[in-house]
Amino acid sequence: MAEIIQGERLTDAADIGAKNTEEYLEEALARQREALVPQEEPDEDAEGRRYCLDCAEIIPQERVAAVQAVRCVTCASKRERFAKLTKGRGGAGRVMNDEEFGGK
Ligand SMILES: [Zn+2]
CA 17 to chain centre: 25
State the distance from the centre of ligand 1 to the C-alpha of 28, rounded, in angstroms: 28
Domain hosting 36: range is 2-100
pLDDT band at residue 58 under the 50/70/90 scheme: very high
Taking the C-alpha atoms of residue 32 and residue 13, their distance in angstroms, rounded to an integer, is: 28
CA angle 60, 40, 43 (to 5 degrees): 45
How many folded domains does the chain comprise?
A: 1
Please tell me whether the overall predicted TM-score, pTM, comes out greater than 0.75 for this model.
Answer: no
For ligand 1, a single-atom ion, the residues with CB < 5 A are 52, 54-55, 57, 72, 75
Beta strands, E only, the chain: 43-44, 50-51, 58-59
Read off the pLDDT of residues 19-53 as tens digits, 9 standing for 90 and up.
788 888 888 888 777 666 556 899 999 999 999 99
State the distance from the centre of ligand 1 to the C-alpha of 20, rounded, in angstroms: 40
